[in-house]
Amino acid sequence: MSGQAFESEALDQLQNSFKRLEVELKDKEYRNLAKKSFQCATKCCINSEANAIDSCVGECTQPLMQYQQFVQQQVQTFQERLQRCQRDCNEEIVSSLTPTTPLLILLFPPRLTRFHSKTEYHILTCRSCP
Protein backbone atom coordinates (compact mmCIF):
# COMPACT_ATOMS: atom_id res chain seq x y z
CA MET A 1 0.00 0.00 0.00
CA SER A 2 1.41 3.41 -0.90
CA GLY A 3 2.10 6.01 1.78
CA GLN A 4 -0.69 8.25 0.52
CA ALA A 5 -3.22 5.42 0.40
CA PHE A 6 -2.22 4.32 3.89
CA GLU A 7 -2.47 7.88 5.17
CA SER A 8 -5.88 8.29 3.55
CA GLU A 9 -7.10 5.03 5.08
CA ALA A 10 -5.81 6.06 8.51
CA LEU A 11 -7.55 9.43 8.18
CA ASP A 12 -10.81 7.72 7.14
CA GLN A 13 -10.60 5.40 10.17
CA LEU A 14 -9.98 8.34 12.47
CA GLN A 15 -12.91 10.28 11.03
CA ASN A 16 -15.19 7.24 11.32
CA SER A 17 -14.13 6.77 14.95
CA PHE A 18 -14.97 10.41 15.66
CA LYS A 19 -18.38 10.04 14.01
CA ARG A 20 -19.16 6.94 16.09
CA LEU A 21 -18.05 8.72 19.26
CA GLU A 22 -20.15 11.77 18.39
CA VAL A 23 -23.25 9.62 17.84
CA GLU A 24 -22.62 7.71 21.06
CA LEU A 25 -22.13 10.89 23.09
CA LYS A 26 -25.26 12.48 21.65
CA ASP A 27 -27.36 9.36 22.17
CA LYS A 28 -26.21 8.57 25.70
CA GLU A 29 -25.04 11.73 27.39
CA TYR A 30 -26.16 14.82 25.53
CA ARG A 31 -29.73 13.68 24.98
CA ASN A 32 -30.23 12.88 28.69
CA LEU A 33 -28.71 16.18 29.82
CA ALA A 34 -30.76 18.13 27.28
CA LYS A 35 -33.93 16.35 28.37
CA LYS A 36 -33.28 17.14 32.05
CA SER A 37 -32.39 20.72 31.17
CA PHE A 38 -35.60 21.29 29.21
CA GLN A 39 -37.74 19.58 31.83
CA CYS A 40 -36.19 21.76 34.52
CA ALA A 41 -36.68 24.90 32.38
CA THR A 42 -40.32 23.95 31.85
CA LYS A 43 -40.82 23.69 35.61
CA CYS A 44 -39.21 27.13 35.97
CA CYS A 45 -41.76 28.60 33.55
CA ILE A 46 -44.63 26.95 35.40
CA ASN A 47 -43.55 27.40 39.03
CA SER A 48 -41.35 30.51 39.18
CA GLU A 49 -42.37 34.09 39.49
CA ALA A 50 -41.94 36.16 36.34
CA ASN A 51 -38.80 37.95 37.55
CA ALA A 52 -37.11 34.65 38.57
CA ILE A 53 -37.67 32.68 35.37
CA ASP A 54 -34.45 33.74 33.65
CA SER A 55 -32.18 32.82 36.55
CA CYS A 56 -34.03 29.54 37.10
CA VAL A 57 -33.71 28.58 33.42
CA GLY A 58 -30.03 29.61 33.52
CA GLU A 59 -29.41 27.23 36.40
CA CYS A 60 -31.20 24.46 34.52
CA THR A 61 -29.05 24.84 31.42
CA GLN A 62 -25.74 25.06 33.32
CA PRO A 63 -24.97 21.28 33.35
CA LEU A 64 -25.67 21.02 29.62
CA MET A 65 -23.43 23.98 28.85
CA GLN A 66 -20.66 22.57 31.06
CA TYR A 67 -20.91 19.23 29.26
CA GLN A 68 -20.68 20.91 25.85
CA GLN A 69 -17.64 22.92 26.97
CA PHE A 70 -15.97 19.80 28.36
CA VAL A 71 -16.49 17.81 25.15
CA GLN A 72 -15.30 20.73 23.03
CA GLN A 73 -12.19 21.10 25.20
CA GLN A 74 -11.42 17.38 24.97
CA VAL A 75 -11.78 17.38 21.17
CA GLN A 76 -9.55 20.45 20.93
CA THR A 77 -6.91 18.83 23.16
CA PHE A 78 -7.01 15.65 21.05
CA GLN A 79 -6.64 17.64 17.83
CA GLU A 80 -3.70 19.59 19.25
CA ARG A 81 -1.95 16.38 20.34
CA LEU A 82 -2.57 14.79 16.95
CA GLN A 83 -1.23 17.87 15.14
CA ARG A 84 1.83 17.95 17.42
CA CYS A 85 2.47 14.27 16.73
CA GLN A 86 2.14 14.80 12.98
CA ARG A 87 4.43 17.83 13.13
CA ASP A 88 7.05 15.88 15.11
CA CYS A 89 6.88 12.99 12.65
CA ASN A 90 7.19 15.30 9.67
CA GLU A 91 10.19 17.02 11.24
CA GLU A 92 11.86 13.66 11.90
CA ILE A 93 11.29 12.52 8.33
CA VAL A 94 12.45 15.82 6.84
CA SER A 95 15.55 15.85 9.03
CA SER A 96 16.44 12.38 7.72
CA LEU A 97 16.38 13.64 4.13
CA THR A 98 19.50 14.81 2.39
CA PRO A 99 19.95 16.68 -0.88
CA THR A 100 20.67 13.33 -2.56
CA THR A 101 17.60 11.51 -1.22
CA PRO A 102 15.50 11.96 -4.40
CA LEU A 103 18.36 10.59 -6.52
CA LEU A 104 18.90 7.66 -4.16
CA ILE A 105 15.20 6.82 -4.29
CA LEU A 106 15.28 6.84 -8.09
CA LEU A 107 18.40 4.68 -8.22
CA PHE A 108 17.46 2.35 -5.39
CA PRO A 109 13.67 1.76 -5.21
CA PRO A 110 13.95 -0.15 -1.89
CA ARG A 111 14.83 3.22 -0.34
CA LEU A 112 11.36 4.45 -1.32
CA THR A 113 9.83 1.42 0.37
CA ARG A 114 11.78 2.22 3.55
CA PHE A 115 10.63 5.83 3.34
CA HIS A 116 6.99 4.72 2.97
CA SER A 117 7.42 2.30 5.89
CA LYS A 118 8.75 5.10 8.06
CA THR A 119 5.83 7.33 7.04
CA GLU A 120 3.31 4.55 7.77
CA TYR A 121 4.91 3.93 11.15
CA HIS A 122 4.50 7.59 12.07
CA ILE A 123 0.88 7.62 10.88
CA LEU A 124 0.12 4.61 13.09
CA THR A 125 1.97 6.20 16.01
CA CYS A 126 0.01 9.44 15.75
CA ARG A 127 -3.28 7.64 15.25
CA SER A 128 -2.87 5.52 18.36
CA CYS A 129 -1.09 7.90 20.76
CA PRO A 130 -3.51 10.76 21.43
How many angstroms separate the CA atoms of 121 and 44, rounded? 56
DSSP state of 99: T
Look up the pTM and report it: 0.65
Residue 22's pLDDT is 81
Instruction: Locate the DSSP E strands across 2-126.
Output: none
Residue 63's pLDDT is 95
Residue 20's pLDDT is 85
Residue 106's pLDDT is 59
- Residue spans of the domains in the chain: they are 3-128
Phi/psi at 49 (nearest 5 deg)?
A: -75, 155
Residue 45's pLDDT is 92
Residue 40's pLDDT is 96
Per-residue exposure over 60-73, b if at least 16 CB sit within 10 Å of its own CB, e if not: beeebeebeeebee
| pLDDT mean for each 10 residues of the chain (130 residues) | 59 78 83 94 92 94 93 86 82 72 61 63 64
